[in-house]
Amino acid sequence: MAKQPATKPDFENSGAMRSNKGSASGVRVYVGDCRELLPRIPHVRNSKVDLVFADPPFNWSRAYDEWRDNMPRNEYLDFTYDWLDLCIGALNEDGSIWVNIPDDTAAEIVIHLKRRGLSMVNWCIWHYRFGQNTTSSFIKSKVHALYFCKDPESRTWNPTEILEISDRASTYFDPRTQSKRDGMPAGKRVPMDVWYGPYWGRIQGNNKERRHQHDNQLPEVYLERVIRATSNPGDLVLDPFLGSGTTGVIAHALGRGFIGTEYSKANARRAFERIEQGPVRLGAAADAVTAIHKPRSRRQPVAP
Ligand X SMILES: C[S@@+](CC[C@H](N)C(=O)[O-])C[C@H]1O[C@@H](n2cnc3c(N)ncnc32)[C@H](O)[C@@H]1O
254 is a site residue for ligand X (CB under 6 A): no
Stretch that binds ligand X, among 6-14, 57-65, 70-78, 281-289 (CB under 6 A): 57-65
Strand locations in the chain (E): 17-18, 27-31, 49-54, 91-101, 119-127, 142-149, 164-165, 188-189, 194-195, 236-239, 257-262
Stretch that binds ligand X, among 44-52, 118-126, 158-166, 241-249 (CB under 6 A): 241-249
Q: Which of 67, 147, 148, 272 binds ligand X (CB under 6 A)?
A: 67
Residue 124 buriedness (CB in 10 A; 0-12 / 13-18 / 19+): buried
CB atoms within 10 A of CB 112: 18
Q: How many residues bind ligand X (CB under 6 A)?
A: 22
| CB nearer to ligand X: pick between 33 and 235 | 33
Are 243 and 303 spatial neighbours (Cβ–Cβ below 8 Å)? no
Q: Which residues pair with 31 in a beta bridge?
A: 262
Q: Which residues 212-231 are close enough to bind ligand X by CB under 6 A?
A: 214, 216-218
105 is a site residue for ligand X (CB under 6 A): no
76 is a site residue for ligand X (CB under 6 A): no
From the CB of 54, what's the least distance to ligand X, in Å? 9
| CB nearer to ligand X: pick between 154 and 213 | 213
| CB nearer to ligand X: pick between 167 and 262 | 262
262 is a site residue for ligand X (CB under 6 A): yes
Q: Which of 244, 257, 270, 279 binds ligand X (CB under 6 A)?
A: 244
| CB nearer to ligand X: pick between 124 and 169 | 124
| CB nearer to ligand X: pick between 55 and 167 | 55
162 is a site residue for ligand X (CB under 6 A): no
222's enclosing H/E stretch is helix 220-230
126 is a site residue for ligand X (CB under 6 A): no
Q: Residues of 182-194 as b/e, b for ≥16 C-beta within 10 angstroms? A: eeeebbbbbbeee
Backbone phi and psi for residue 78, each to the nearest 5 degrees, phi listed first: -60, -45
**What is the distance between the alpha carbons of residues 31 and 37, in angstroms, rounded to a whole number?**
8
Q: Give every CB contact of residue 176 below 8 A, 6+ residues apart in sequence.
A: 168
Are 33 and 221 spatial neighbours (Cβ–Cβ below 8 Å)? no
Backbone phi and psi for residue 293, each to the nearest 5 degrees, phi listed first: -105, 155
From the CB of 232, what's the least distance to ligand X, in Å? 22
| β 49-54/91-101 pair status | parallel
From the CB of 151, what's the least distance to ligand X, in Å? 26
Residue 66, CA distances (Å) to 265, 267, 270 in order = 9, 9, 14
| CB nearer to ligand X: pick between 57 and 187 | 57
From the CB of 89, what's the least distance to ligand X, in Å? 16
57 is a site residue for ligand X (CB under 6 A): yes
128 is a site residue for ligand X (CB under 6 A): no
The residues that touch ligand X, with contacts defined as CB under 6 A, are 33-35, 55, 57, 64-65, 67, 214, 216-218, 240-241, 243-244, 246, 261-264, 267
